[in-house]
Amino acid sequence: MMDTFVNFFKNLWNFFVSINANAFWTIVYYLSQNWFIISAIIFIAVLMYTEIKINTSHLIDDRREMY
């Protein structure tokens, strides 16, 4: 019973270690330091969100988002 419990935490720890080994979080950290990429993502998110809203307003025939 105790062995299973310890193994769970060991696997959990190895999971985070493997993520770092794949450099995912390192890449996320480097990207988070770059104001150029952050602001580009914000601009693209604004455009994407508005386009999704407009597509929805076409489907349900409600144009309040546009006028």
Partner 1 sequence: MKTTEDGKIRYKSDIVLRQIRTNVLTVLSYIFLIWVWQFTLSLQSSMYTLMNVAVFVMWAFGAAGVILCKEDREVIIKHTKHQIAYYLIVVFVYDLFLRVVVNGMNTSVPGYDTDPSLAVARQFLLVVSTMLKIGFPIAFVIWMIQKFAIFKSGLSKQRQMEILRNVRKGFSPKNKKENETFEKDNINNRY
Residues that bind partner 1 (CB under 8 A): 36, 39-40, 42-44, 46-48, 50-52, 54-56, 59-60, 65-67
Provide, rounded to whole angstroms, the least separation between the CB of residue 33 and partner 1: 17
Provide, rounded to whole angstroms, the least separation between the CB of residue 58 and partner 1: 8
Kindly give, in sequence order, each residue whose CB lies less than 8 Å from that of residue 47, ignoring residues fewer than 6 positions away.
none
Rounded Cα gap, residues 44 and 51, in angstroms: 11
Provide, rounded to whole angstroms, the least separation between the CB of residue 21 and partner 1: 25
Q: How many CA within 13 A on the CB side of residue 45?
A: 6
